[in-house]
Amino acid sequence: MKVELWEITRVPEIFIVRCARVSRGKSGTNELILLDDARDFIRKLIKRGHESVLEHAWATFYIEGISRVCLAQLTRHRIASFTVESQRFVTPKETFVIPPSFEKPDDPSIKAMVDAYLETSKAVFENLLASGIPKEDARFMLPQAITTSLVMTANFREWRHILKLRTAPDAQWEIRALCTEIGKILMEHAPSVFEDIMEEK
Amino acid sequence: MKVELWEITRVPEIFIVRCARVSRGKSGTNELILLDDARDFIRKLIKRGHESVLEHAWATFYIEGISRVCLAQLTRHRIASFTVESQRFVTPKETFVIPPSFEKPDDPSIKAMVDAYLETSKAVFENLLASGIPKEDARFMLPQAITTSLVMTANFREWRHILKLRTAPDAQWEIRALCTEIGKILMEHAPSVFEDIMEEK
Amino acid sequence: MKVELWEITRVPEIFIVRCARVSRGKSGTNELILLDDARDFIRKLIKRGHESVLEHAWATFYIEGISRVCLAQLTRHRIASFTVESQRFVTPKETFVIPPSFEKPDDPSIKAMVDAYLETSKAVFENLLASGIPKEDARFMLPQAITTSLVMTANFREWRHILKLRTAPDAQWEIRALCTEIGKILMEHAPSVFEDIMEEK
Amino acid sequence: MKVELWEITRVPEIFIVRCARVSRGKSGTNELILLDDARDFIRKLIKRGHESVLEHAWATFYIEGISRVCLAQLTRHRIASFTVESQRFVTPKETFVIPPSFEKPDDPSIKAMVDAYLETSKAVFENLLASGIPKEDARFMLPQAITTSLVMTANFREWRHILKLRTAPDAQWEIRALCTEIGKILMEHAPSVFEDIMEEK
C-alpha cells in the first residue's frame, strides 16, 4: 500500500479560521491570525460540534496497492471525489493484497494453496485476454484481492467522518491501515482538526 | 439477475405536479389534477431542464444476482442510498455472473477453463473458512464475478441521470442490462418521467 | 404556520427492517416481520449508530406560512429536496411572521411601530408593481418576515439529523417550532426512528 | 458587490490531468505534463461529458455586499460549502442592494420612495434593538435587499454547473452579475475548464 498527499489547502488551520471569521462579520479586518490561536479556536469549534467551516479545507490523496475489497468500502463514502484505475480499459498489475490471517506459522499449507490459486487466476486472466476476450469481461475472473490505484479528494469535515469510522477498532483491517496512514499525514498539516480522532492511533 | 420494485411514490406523476404547483403559489387550491395533464406538464418541465421537482418522487429496488463488478459501478452514484449484502459477515451464495463473451461456439475450451477455475475458487474459499480464516479475509480470494444482493433507493431525478448514463450504448453490458430492467419498471409507473430516456430500449 | 405530511413510505418501520435484512443475506425469505420486532430492531440499529438503512424511508412535507428567515435556515440542509414558492414569478401573500418578543405587555409602542412599518412595506411593494417594476425586483423591499410556502422531501436519516439540530434548545424559535411540528408527525408514523430525539419535546 | 478568490488548487489544469492519468493506469510515471497538452486534454474530456475528474480541483470565494435575495439563490446549490455572516449574532451593515430597474430617469419618485422606506427600515431595526429585542428577531423587519457576506467553496465540476445555470440570459440579474465575476476569475486560473461557458460573457 502506498499513500501520497497530492494536494492540500495551504496552511489549512489559518484558512479555516479566516473563513470562520466571516460568520462573525469580521472578514473586512486584515488582522493577523496566529497559528496557536487558530488551533485553539478550531479545538473549540469541534468540541461544540460546529464542523461546517471545516468544509472549506480539502485534501487529495493518491492511493496505490489496495484491494478491490478496500476500494468498495472507500467508494461508499458519498461526499468525496474519486478517480479510479479503470478495469475496463487498463490491464491491471497482477499483484494481490494477502490478508495477514493467511500467514499461519503452524500451517504453511494455507499460504501455499493461496499462492497456487493466485497463479491460476493470473493464467486464466491472461488466457482470456489471449483468446480475444475484452479486458472488461476477463476481469470478472480476477480475485477481489487484486490491487488498484485511485485519487480521492474530500474536505476536512468529511475526512474527519471517514477517519473516525474507518480507524475504529471494529473497522476492517485493510481500510483501517489505509485510513491510519491518511490520518497521520493529515495530522502533520492540521493537528487541531484531526488530533481528537488520531491521537493514540 | 433479479430486479424487484420494493417501494415507489404513490401515483408519482400526480404527486410531482402537486409539488410543482407550490412553486407557482397554487398549493392552497385542492383542484383535481388529471393524469393526462400531469404527464403533459412533466414532459414540458423535462424539456426545459427543470428537473428539480422530480426529486420529490422516490423508488427503491431490490437487486439480486449481479456481480461485484456491477456493484462497484452502481455504488459510484453518490445521490442514492444502498444496503448491500455484507461479505464481512455473510457467506455468499457461490454463484457467478459469466460474461456472454465467454461462450464461444467454436471454442468450448474457454468456458471449460472458466468453469474449472470457478470450482477451484469455491474450493479455496471453503478451505479457508474450514481453516478458521474469517469470512472477511477469505472473500479476498473470490472472483469479482461473485454475485451479490442489495437494496437501492434514489429519487426520480437521480434515476433519470443513472438510466441515461447506464443504458447508453457505451455502458458496460451488465449494468446496462440491470438499468434497462429498472427503467422498464419505472416506465410503467411514470412514463412521462422516463420515456425520453427509455423509449426504443 | 401550517405543516402537512404529503407523502411517506408505507409502514416505514417494517420497510426499514426489510431493507436491513438484505445486508444479512436474508432477503429471499418472505418471513413475516412483526411491528414490535421491527421497532426493537430499529432502536438497536440507532444505538449502534448504524443509521444508513434509515435512508430507504422518506417523507415529504408541505409547509406554509414560515418567514424567509426560517426558509433560509431550512434550505441550508443539503441532503433534502425543496420546491419553494417563487418570489420571482408569484406575488406573495402579504402576510408576515411576527416574532413573539415584539409583544411586550408593558410597551405596546413596539407592536404599533412594527404594524405601521409593515403597512408601509406593503404600500411600497404595491407601488413598485404599479409603476411597472418587475416582481423579482420589487421583492427586494419586502421584509424578511414575509411568509412563504414550500414542499420539502428528505429521507429518515436526514430528518433525524435535521430534527436533532433544529429542535435543540439553542435553535432559533421559528425553525424550532416548525421542526417540533414535523417531528410530532413523524413520531406517529415511525416512533422507533424518532423517539430518542422527540421525546419530552 | 465584492468578489475575492481566497483559495484555489495550485496550477489546477495540470493537477486535473495528473488525477485523470490515474484512471488510465499511468500514475507511476513522473512524466512532465505541459500546460498546452493539459488544456487540450481537458477540452476533450468536457466535450465527451467526462467531468468527474474536475471534482479534484476546488476554489473558495469571499463574497461581500450581495442581497439576501441573491444569497437565497446561491445556497440552493447543494454541492458546495457555505459560511455566511450570521444575522442571529451580528448586527448587519445597514447597506442595501438597489435593483437597477428602480432608477427611472423619467420618474425619480420611485427612487425617492425607496430611499425613504429604507431609512424607515433602519430606524425600525435600530429602535427594536434599543428596546431590547434580540438581533435574531429584529432582523425579521429588514428588507431582503439588506447586504450580507459569505465564503463559498465548490469543486470545478460544480462551479461549471453553477456558472452555466446562473450566467444564462434568463438568470436573475444579481446572481448573474456575481457569477459572471466568479467565472472571469476562474477563467484566469483554468481557461480550459470554463471557457465553453464563460466565453462571450
Interface of C with B (CB under 8 A): 6-7, 9-10, 15, 18-20, 22-25, 27-28, 52-53, 55-56, 58, 60, 62, 64, 81-86, 89-92, 149-151, 153, 155
Distance CA C42, CA B56 (A): 25
With 90 as the cut, is the pLDDT of residue B76 above it?
Answer: yes
With 90 as the cut, is the pLDDT of residue C199 above it?
Answer: no
Query: What are the phi and psi torsion angles at C192 (to 5°)?
Result: -65, -25
What integer pLDDT is reported at residue D2 of this predicted model? 96
pLDDT, average across residues D154-161: 98
C45 Cβ neighbours under 8 A, 6+ residues apart: C20, C51, C53, C54
| Residue numbers in D near A17 (CB within 8 A) | none
Q: What is the largest CA-CA distance in chain D?
A: 69
Distance CA B143, CA B134 (A): 17
Query: What are the phi and psi torsion angles at D106 (to 5°)?
Result: -85, -10
Query: Best of D3, D16, D18, D22 to disrupt the A interface by mutation (most A CBs within 10 Å)?
Result: D22
What integer pLDDT is reported at residue C105 of this predicted model? 82
What integer pLDDT is reported at residue C140 of this predicted model? 97
What integer pLDDT is reported at residue A29 of this predicted model? 63
DSSP D112-136: HHHHHHHHHHHHHHHHHHHTT--HH
pLDDT in tens, D100-115: 999 988 888 999 999 9
The answer to whether A18 is a known catalytic residue is no
Distance CA A18, CA A41 (A): 11
Chain-chain contact of D69 with C87 (C-beta, under 8 angstroms): yes
Distance CA D200, CA D187 (A): 12
Chain-chain contact of B22 with C55 (C-beta, under 8 angstroms): no
With 90 as the cut, is the pLDDT of residue C149 above it?
Answer: yes
What integer pLDDT is reported at residue A28 of this predicted model? 61
Chain-chain contact of B15 with C6 (C-beta, under 8 angstroms): yes
Chain-chain contact of C27 with B53 (C-beta, under 8 angstroms): no
Distance CA C167, CA A8 (A): 36
What integer pLDDT is reported at residue A131 of this predicted model? 94
- CA C112 from centre of chain: 31
| Residue numbers in C near D78 (CB within 8 A) | 78-79
Residue from A68, A139, A157, A166 carrying the catalytic annotation: A166
- Count of alpha carbons within 13 angstroms of residue D119, beta-carbon side: 6
pLDDT, average across residues B134-162: 97
Chain-chain contact of A55 with D81 (C-beta, under 8 angstroms): yes
pLDDT, average across residues B112-132: 96
CB C70 within 8 A of CB C147: no
pLDDT in tens, B6-38: 999 999 999 999 999 999 988 766 678 999 999
Work out the mean pLDDT of chain C and round it to a whole number.
95
Chain-chain contact of B84 with C7 (C-beta, under 8 angstroms): no
Encoded amino acid at D26, one letter: K
What integer pLDDT is reported at residue C94 of this predicted model? 82
What integer pLDDT is reported at residue B201 of this predicted model? 72
For residue C9, which of C152, C153, C160, C151 has the smallest C-alpha distance? C153
CA angle D148, D153, D155 (to 5 degrees): 145
> Which pLDDT band holds residue B94 (cuts at 50, 70, 90)?
confident
For residue D129, which of D81, D183, D87 has the smallest C-alpha distance? D87
What integer pLDDT is reported at residue B93 of this predicted model? 84
Distance CA C180, CA C80 (A): 18
Which SS3 state, helix, strand or coil, does residue B76 take? Answer: coil
Kindly give the pairing relationship between strand D2-8 and strand D58-67.
Answer: antiparallel
Chain-chain contact of D83 with A23 (C-beta, under 8 angstroms): yes
Work out the mean pLDDT of chain D and round it to a whole number.
95
CB B13 within 8 A of CB B190: yes
CB C93 within 8 A of CB C147: yes
pLDDT in tens, C33-72: 999 999 999 999 999 999 999 999 999 999 999 999 999 9
Query: What are the phi and psi torsion angles at D80 (to 5°)?
Result: -160, 165
| Residue numbers in C near B81 (CB within 8 A) | 52, 55-56, 155
Q: Could you state, in chain order, the average pLDDT of each consecutive group of 10 residues for chain A (201 residues)?
A: 97 96 81 92 97 98 97 97 92 91 90 96 96 96 97 98 97 98 98 94 71
What integer pLDDT is reported at residue C92 of this predicted model? 83
DSSP structural state of residue D5: E
pLDDT, average across residues B56-83: 97
With 80 as the cut, is the pLDDT of residue D132 above it?
Answer: yes
Which SS3 state, helix, strand or coil, does residue D67 take? Answer: strand
pLDDT in tens, D16-47: 999 999 999 887 666 789 999 999 999 999 99
What integer pLDDT is reported at residue D105 of this predicted model? 82
Distance from CA of D133 to the nearest CA of C (A): 7
What integer pLDDT is reported at residue D107 of this predicted model? 86
Distance CA C118, CA C121 (A): 5
Which chains lie within 8 Å of chain D at 3 or more CB pairs, if any?
A, C
For cell 415529504, what's the residue?
C60
The ipTM of this complex is 0.95
What integer pLDDT is reported at residue A104 of this predicted model? 85
Closest alpha carbon within chain C to B92: C25
CB A27 within 8 A of CB D62: yes
With 90 as the cut, is the pLDDT of residue B71 above it?
Answer: yes
What integer pLDDT is reported at residue B37 of this predicted model? 96
Work out the mean pLDDT of chain B and round it to a whole number.
95
